[in-house]
Amino acid sequence: MVRRSRSGDEKSFRGAQRTQRGDALAMRFEAFLALRYLKAKRKQAFISVITVISVVGVMMGVTALIVVLSVMNGFREDLMGKILGVNSHLVVLSYEGAFLDYDRIARETSAVEGVVATTPFIYSQVMVNSQGSVSGSVLRGIDTSTASKVIAVDRMIKRGSLQSLDALHEGLPAIIMGKELARMLAVQPGDTVTVVSPMGKLTPVGRVPQNRKFKITAIFDSGMYEYDATMVYVSLKEAQDFLGFDNRATGVEVRVADIYKADQVGGAVTKKLGYPYWAKDWKQMNRSLVSALKLEKIAMFVILIMIVLVGALNIISTLVMVVMEKNKDVAILRAMGATQKSIMTVFMCQGVLVGVVGTLVGLGTGLGLCHLLAKYKFIELPSDVYYISTLPVRVEMLDVVLVIVAAVVISFLATLYPSWHASRLNLVESLRYE
């Protein structure tokens, strides 16, 4: 009984080995035929031309997708870098308006995991006047000792220094102005401007607008017209005195370790501080811009994937012509014992091989172009329009993987109908007149 059992196990094992060898041989046989069919003979050279066109179509689609998505990523990174250079990652505010205990709020916020630095700020609408030229502006009072740890205002200053806000200049408080605003008012460092606050002072005859003269000590350039044309900076103490805030602040700006987790950190800050304090992250502050960039990227992906679809249509036409030309060969293979699955696999391998080759060539071409654009910066842009002089490029691996998967899947789907049709050919009809 033991011997019979062992003999049965050995037979089962050998049968499994034979099955595995048979499957391996079948796969080699199908791949071999797929490669042979791609190498058309002299009289079928037109099929080879269509195959090359198919590869080029897929290649161009993959190249265009990688380059365009990388350029869009570069623009987004550059734009968000400029926005987050002026604004913080997170802002802690109060439902009751300006508050007194901003030092305590800053300390408690700094203790939350993920927070790197904090700084108090004041935000108010004002008017800036210089020799009859008037412009509406946003006045921001900042603490010069901590502001540079949260926002990049010190790196944006091109003429002057941030520390100039802490001292009087010819008896006047200092103000730092945006480049575009200084151009509109025709002023430069050393000139005097008058700042008018609509909040004003409460007098027996009502609220009277408050105005004060400031000495321009520096000019900043953020690269964003909206900020450069409207923003002015003064010291926190000067803003409190000018606006009548006493010792209050509008809120606390926060810098976090990971900007993409700012909403999570904001939730933790809100939970820790409790009512009436709440946190708003940079995504909420720039919701429309973030949504527009995301939608634009998706739209460009969908539009450019059509180029890959054109290559896939060429794959379909190539396989249809090969099936028509190899009609007799398919019938002979079926008569020799090839299954419908094997015939279908042959033509599917042929189409997928075209798609994979086109994808790999397009991947190399696209990454190569991105590298050249990033290294040599040979595409220049008008800096007065875009505020950048060259085309920004940033390759993200997730985008590359999505492009590769989409191209291969589309190429695979393009093979299904021609391969299915080839596997359903009638043997008798195909060999009747041979």
Note whether residue 21 is domain-resident.
no
Q: Which pLDDT belongs to residue 202?
A: 63
Note whether residue 133 is domain-resident.
yes
* Same domain? 248 vs 357: no
Identify the CA nearest to 415 among candidates 26, 23, 30, 22.
30
Relative orientation angle of helices 340-376 and 327-335, to the nearest 10 degrees:
130
Q: What is the pLDDT of residues 43-97, one digit of tens each?
A: 556 667 778 888 998 999 999 999 999 999 998 888 888 888 899 999 999 999 9
Q: Both tokens of residue 244?
A: 């009548």
Identify the CA nearest to 123 among candidates 87, 173, 79.
87
Q: Which pLDDT belongs to residue 19?
A: 47
* Same domain? 116 vs 234: yes
* Same domain? 61 vs 130: no
* Same domain? 102 vs 237: yes
Q: Which pLDDT belongs to residue 17?
A: 47
Q: Which of 284, 300, 331 is the last residue of a domain?
A: 284
Number of domains in the chain: 2
Note whether residue 8 is domain-resident.
no
Note whether residue 326 is domain-resident.
yes
Q: Which of 250, 267, 284 is the last residue of a domain?
A: 284
Tell me how far apart the alpha carbons of residues 161 and 416 are, in angstroms, rounded to a whole number: 67
Q: Which of 252, 284, 316 is the last residue of a domain?
A: 284
DSSP annotation of 98: S
Point out the residues of the chain with pLDDT beneath 70: 1-29, 34-47, 200-208, 383-387, 426-434
Q: Both tokens of residue 56?
A: 């080029």
DSSP-assigned states of every residue in 324-391? HHTHHHHHHHHHTT--HHHHHHHHHHHHHHHHHHHHHHHHHHHHHHHHHHHHH--SB--HHHHS-SB-
Q: Which pLDDT belongs to residue 120?
A: 96
* Same domain? 317 vs 377: yes
Note whether residue 245 is domain-resident.
yes
Q: Give the three-class secondary structure for 211.
A: strand
Q: Which domain holds residue 265?
A: 89-284
* Same domain? 271 vs 145: yes
Using CA atoms, how far residue 385 sits from 87, 156, 158, 388, in Å, is 22, 19, 20, 8
Residue 358: alpha-carbon gap to chain centroid: 25
Query: Does residue 109 come out as left (phi exceeding 0), alpha (psi in the -120 to 50 range) or beta?
Result: alpha
Q: Give the three-class secondary structure for 223.
A: coil
Note whether residue 15 is domain-resident.
no
Q: Which pLDDT belongs to residue 377?
A: 84
Is the pTM higher than 0.85? The answer reads no
Q: Are the CB atoms for 149 and 255 separated by under 8 Å? A: yes
Q: Which pLDDT belongs to residue 1?
A: 46
Note whether residue 151 is domain-resident.
yes
Note whether residue 39 is domain-resident.
yes
Q: Which pLDDT belongs to residue 201?
A: 66
